[in-house]
Structure 1
Amino acid sequence: MNIVAEMLTQPAPMAIWAALMLLTLPALVVLASPHNVRNPGRALIDTVGFLRRRAEKRDELRQRRLDEAVQAVRYAEEIQVAADQAGYASQRWQGHWESADAAVDAAWEAWQASDARWARGRATAAFGTPYTARTTHEYAYRERFLHRAVQEAAGRGELPAEAVADALSGRNGWDARLHPAEQELVVQRVSAEYLAKVYERAVADERAAWHDALDACRNRDSLIREAAVAQARAAAVEHLIPAPRVTTREAFRPAFA
């Protein structure tokens, strides 16, 4: 008994036994049924067909597994590329939000500084304006003063560009007939109101940028998790993909070729 077990556990005897069983399979099929004994030729044909169909199914299963392995590896590569791109996009959105946050701080400081100037201007105007003769030259001077004050404020970003055109045309409350002190107070008031709106827009832009950065971060994290799962699946079936065959000519090709 030990001798038979030892023979069966050795590679060479096992191969011999397998070959003998394969050679005797047709005879076993014939002897398995009285119908096969009466018609052994037909039985052998059926046996060959059965073995061929079994081999075809085995090849189809092997090919199906190979196709699935190739698709899994390709998907893992594609989802990894998508995860990398999502990471770059998340960094860009993060930088956009940081810029928007800095713009909020700058807009707040500009608004507070302008509002403080307007408060000082109102305190000074409480003492009244000095008397000046209302002559043609005086009105021309007041007009030049208003235009220059509006242009300088617009150049500092304290007024919108269209305010210059309105002041030159005397539209939207710009009155060149006012005393320069009163004109200066109007410029300060309009600047404070404009910079308050700039701050409100900056806050809205910052909130939108924050939501965009948060969505980009979530998308990046989701793709990273999905890429990790895909990589694990690809690693489990990658051994089913045969390695590319390298010819002797390619193996000895110079590195600089």
Structure 2
Amino acid sequence: MESVLQTFLSAVPQATAIWLTILLALAVAVAVAALPRGVTVPEPPVEENRLADRLEAAADEAADVAERRRADWLTAQQAVDETWAAYEQASDEARRAGAATAFPLMSRRRKLGDNVDRQRYLHRAATELCRSQDLSIAQLNDVYAHRGWNPRLHPVQQEPVLLNAVRAHRFDAYQRAVEKERAAWRSADAAAETLRGLRAEAAAARLRGPVTEAGEQQVFAEHWTPAELPAAA
């Protein structure tokens, strides 16, 4: 009898704990069911990081600037290739014309008005070359002023002289294209460097967390001048 009573008394705390657990679970289930649908538990507010936001916005603008600068460089690079091809073509034509006129023409007494006709030919040929952008305006002015040009030469002799002038003009255009390409590359490289710096600073600012407004101004002043920021580009 005593053993049965002892067994019953030892089982009472366990049964009590089980019933309390069941009742607690029912209470939680009733409370959850009583909540209105669509209600979400608000998340804790996130502290604003103005410096990181500003740097990320500046990085987005710098990315646009860097893309435009790279496109300008690619365009300038294409212009270098095109002007070099034009120079090579002009050089080949001048070389062939020079070889064709290697032998002197037979001298004969000129007719009355030959010099006028030759001058007209030179002016007309130079004007056509200028219209097709094979000669510059400055070169055309020299032709009409006879600066470095002999208007009395026979048209056959005048052709290689004109083609040599075209070659010189094409080479000048190539050199100008090279200078523009180099400047475009420097600009594109500077824009890419600014973008890399802004992205690195934005990531670092995001890791550091919020700073004061004075701290924001100090970061921008230490790393970039107003001319280097995308808004001023």
Interval of TM-score (by shorter of Structure 1 and Structure 2): 0.5 to 0.7
Give the corresponding residue for 2:161: 186
Distance 1:219 1:236, change over 3 A: closer
Give the corresponding residue for 2:135: 159
Deviations 1:3-56 (A, max 9, x none): xxxxxxxxxxxxxxxxxxxxxxxxxxxxxxxxxxxxxxxxxxxxxxxxxxxxxx
Q: Secondary structure, in 3 states, of the residue corresponding to 1:163?
A: helix
Give the corresponding residue for 1:198: 173
Deviations 1:105-138 (A, max 9, x none): 1111100000000110111101333656523422
Q: How many residues align?
A: 166
Q: Is 1:122–2:98 an aligned residue pair?
A: yes
Give the corresponding residue for 1:253: none
- Counterpart of 2:184, as a letter, is A
Query: Which residues of structure 2 form unaligned runs of 5+?
Result: 1-46, 213-233
**Offset of residue 204 of structure 1:** 2.4
Give the corresponding residue for 1:213: 188
Looking at structure 2, the residues matched to 175 and 149 of structure 1 have their Cα atoms a distance apart, in angstroms, of 14
Q: Is 1:137–2:113 an aligned residue pair?
A: yes
**Offset of residue 226 of structure 1:** 1.2
Contact 2:58 2:198 in 1 (8 A): yes
Query: Which residues of structure 1 form unaligned runs of 5+?
Result: 1-68, 238-257
Distance 1:156 1:132, change over 3 A: farther
Distance 1:236 1:165, change over 3 A: closer
* RMSD (Å) for aligned C-alpha atoms: 2.3
**Offset of residue 85 of structure 1:** 1.4
- Counterpart of 1:211, as a letter, is R
Give the corresponding residue for 1:92: 68
Looking at structure 1, the residues matched to 99 and 90 of structure 2 have their Cα atoms a distance apart, in angstroms, of 14
Distance 1:234 1:128, change over 3 A: same
Give the corresponding residue for 2:207: 232
Give the corresponding residue for 2:54: 78
Looking at structure 2, the residues matched to 183 and 86 of structure 1 have their Cα atoms a distance apart, in angstroms, of 55
Give the corresponding residue for 2:220: none
Counterpart of 1:176 (choices 151, 154, 157) is 151
Distance 1:140 1:125, change over 3 A: same
**Offset of residue 91 of structure 1:** 0.9
The structure that is helix-richer by fraction is: 1
Looking at structure 2, the residues matched to 103 and 233 of structure 1 have their Cα atoms a distance apart, in angstroms, of 46
| RCO comparison, higher one (Cα < 8 Å, 6+) | 2
- Decide which moves more: 104-113 or 213-222: 213-222
Q: Secondary structure, in 3 states, of the residue corresponding to 2:73?
A: helix
What's the TM-score once normalised by structure 2's chain length? 0.65
Contact 2:73 2:185 in 1 (8 A): yes
What's the TM-score once normalised by structure 1's chain length? 0.59
Looking at structure 2, the residues matched to 184 and 78 of structure 1 have their Cα atoms a distance apart, in angstroms, of 64
Distance 1:85 1:132, change over 3 A: farther
Looking at structure 1, the residues matched to 116 and 67 of structure 2 have their Cα atoms a distance apart, in angstroms, of 56
